[in-house]
Amino acid sequence: AQSVTQLDSHVSVSEGTPVLLRCNYSSSYSPSLFWYVQHPNKGLQLLLKYTSAATLVKGINGFEAEFKKSETSFHLTKPSAHMSDAAEYFCVVSDRGDMRFGAGTRLTVKP
């Protein structure tokens, strides 16, 4: 069965510093992996996706993620945090059909 673990429930960074949100997955197949963002009282929005093409994936708003099969990881990064990045971030794995979410990482950005 597929599953995903987000290693940090809460990450706090200062504006202008790098962001790292960690995600490890488990899948018996070649999975698709996604990162979604959820702002307060807003719907889920796709940041980026990996579907077996390039292992370094670029998304919206300057976010990137690298698929590392040997480490079963798909960590999300951004070189410089902005106040508007404060939100809940979800790592998602999908192999044959359903999509499984991690528990989420709350990103706080301090001025």
Return phi, psi of residue 83, to 5°. Answer: -55, -35
Span near other proteins by CB under 8 A; candidates 15-23, 36-44, 62-70, 73-81: 36-44
Distance of alpha carbon 86 from alpha carbon 98, whole angstroms:
28
Quick check: 62 and 80 in contact, CB under 8 A?
yes
User: Residues 38-77 vs other proteins: string with x where CB under 8 A?
Assistant: -----xxxx--x-xx-------------------------
Instruction: Tell me the closest approach of the beta carbon of residue 42 to other proteins, in angstroms.
Output: 8
| H or E element in which residue 4 lies | strand 3-6
Q: Quote the tokens at residue 26.
A: 């488990």
- For position 104 contacting other proteins by CB under 8 A, the verdict is yes
- For position 99 contacting other proteins by CB under 8 A, the verdict is yes
Nearer to other proteins, 4 or 81 (CB): 4
